[in-house]
Amino acid sequence: MALNPYEIRRDFPLLVKRRIVYLDNAATSQKPRQVIEAMAKFYEEKYANIHRGLHVLSREASEAYEEAHEVVAKFIDAKSWREIVFVKNTTEAINLVAYSWGLRELRKGDEVVVTIMEHHSNLLPWVAIAKLKGAKLRIVELGEDYTLNYEQLEESISERTRVVAVTHVSNVLGTLNDVKRIAKLAHEVDAICLVDGAQSVPHMPVNVREIGCDFLAFSGHKMLGPTGIGVLYGREELLSEMEPFLYGGDMVREVRYAGGAVRPSWNELPWKFEAGTPNIVGGVGLAEAVRYLERIGMDEVRRHEVELTQYALKRLRELNGVEVYGPSKVEKRGGVIAFNLRGLDPHSVAALLDERGIAVRSGFHCAQPLHEYLGLVEGTVRASFYIYNTREDVDALINALGKILMLVEGRASEIVGD
């Protein structure tokens, strides 16, 4: 069944109660009542701390939390729920790999390959670890039409490469990278491949076994789930070899004291990497968000966003005074559009749109090196779409931009092109 955004909107209390055109989905998504109710029900009926508790509430809470790992594992086709580590967000997931794997495995002279379009979360951890270990960071730039320069990528990957860390979909340009090809290139030199899936997992089918990546990181709050819960997928053999990132309760099997020494042994996967009391209700909410998306079908989610993005790009081209950034072919991009208006800085545009009930993002979008590389020293305005957005939302954006341009240029007849 085709995705119907008008029906879907009824599941989102905020969109029902408030007259707002929400186009800031790359930052975070709205939450359906099914997720809100699942979390409330857990608090009301099953809440307790997980693991080790012998009472019924603890057992029920543990079962719900463990089931959430299974739901996520199936969603991305992981081999086992042992490969699913719950973290706070994409940022923590990438830092976990950087510190737990990179800090111990990288050596002086090794190289880490990233791209110029990385979010700071997939750039700064590798900058830090490379500096600590004496490794070198190699940055792959763009080729034609805002796509990755694959020729430069192949030249950058060598026998010295230990890590290739790449975004699946750029949170600025919307560029959809061929991560399957990138993972293959990494493995040809025995390097690991980490994929930042923050902008892909919520919006399209993502299959880790098909991609062949070693790690995949994504956030719950960008895919209808709550904040404070994210996911690191890692191949079981790699996770088993890695040391923990955080230390404390639940991540340890036992701690023995003998001869004046403390000797810990780590818990089994994935608990080895989930120290302390986790965001239990966040896991429950994320699982319900996954179920909601599965009922729609990720192929339908992708189809809807492609159609909406194509329509938005067409409408934006009707406006004189708007510059759009990102691949021209919609099949090579996600549902993210970055643009600027002639004569106005991005923050002014966002503020003027907000006055008209339209929520967008402005600035560097945690990707300042990319903006500087493109010469966009003040940043960009970003509109991003999801399952509840409609053509009317796009029309509202275009009409508002047209009026803003009229105010700036004072020439209404030249705003709309032929």
**Full DSSP string of 88-109:** SSHHHHHHHHIIIIIHHH--TT
Residues in a beta bridge with 140: 115
% of the chain exceeding 90 in pLDDT: 92
Q: Which positions ≥6 away from 351 have C-beta within 8 Å?
A: none
228 secondary structure, DSSP code = T
Q: 331 vs 413, which has greater pLDDT?
A: 331
Joined tokens for residue 57:
């509430």
Amino acid of residue 120: H
pLDDT in tens, 171-219: 999 999 999 999 999 999 999 999 999 999 999 999 999 999 999 999 9
- The CA dihedral of 302, 306, 312, 318, to the nearest 10 degrees, is 180
Amino acid of residue 406: M
Asked whether the beta carbons of 244 and 273 are under 8 A apart, the reply is yes
Joined tokens for residue 258:
């003998």
Please say whether the dihedral angle defined by the alpha carbons of residues 59, 66, 88 and 274, taken in this order, is positive or negative: positive
Of 366, 374, 396, 406, which is the active-site residue?
A: 366
Residue 2 confidence class, pLDDT cut points 50, 70, 90: confident
Domain parsing of the chain, residue ranges: 5-30+297-414, 35-294
pLDDT at position 411 is 52
Amino acid of residue 267: N
- The CA dihedral of 317, 318, 321, 327, to the nearest 10 degrees, is 0
Helices (H), 18-55: 33-45
Backbone angles phi, psi at 88, to 5 degrees: -75, -40
Asked whether the beta carbons of 255 and 262 are under 8 A apart, the reply is yes
pLDDT at position 1 is 58
Across 303-328, average pLDDT: 97
Rounded Cα gap, residues 334 and 197, in angstroms: 12
Q: 2 vs 239, which has greater pLDDT?
A: 239
- The CA dihedral of 100, 102, 105, 111, to the nearest 10 degrees, is 170
Asked whether the beta carbons of 195 and 218 are under 8 A apart, the reply is no
Q: Find the radius of gyration of the CA atoms of the chain.
A: 23
Name which of 255, 274, 273, 275 is nearest 265 in CA terms: 255
* pLDDT for residue 412 is more than 50: no
Rounded Cα gap, residues 364 and 175, in angstroms: 16
pLDDT in tens, 17-56: 999 999 999 999 999 999 999 999 999 999 999 998 889 9
Joined tokens for residue 6:
């008008």
Name which of 276, 267, 332, 327 is nearest 306 in CA terms: 332
Domain covering 5-30+297-414 assigned CATH 3.90.1150.10 in the classification = yes
pLDDT at position 416 is 43
* pLDDT for residue 398 is more than 60: yes
Strands (E) in 28-187, as ranges, are 84-87, 111-115, 136-140, 161-167
Strands (E) in 123-191, as ranges, are 136-140, 161-167
Rounded Cα gap, residues 328 and 313, in angstroms: 9
pLDDT at position 53 is 80
Rounded Cα gap, residues 180 and 193, in angstroms: 10
Residue 216, classed as helix, strand or coil, is strand
Joined tokens for residue 26:
């790359």
The correct CATH number of 35-294 out of 1.20.1050.10, 3.40.640.10, 3.20.10.10, 3.30.200.20 is 3.40.640.10
Residue with tokens 């959430």: 68
Rounded Cα gap, residues 308 and 27, in angstroms: 18
Pairing relationship of beta strands 336-341 and 380-384 according to DSSP bridges: antiparallel
* pLDDT for residue 319 is more than 60: yes
> Quick check: is 366 catalytic?
yes
* pLDDT for residue 418 is more than 70: no
Helices (H), 280-363: 280-296, 298-316, 346-355
Q: Kindly report the average pLDDT of the chain as a whole number.
A: 95
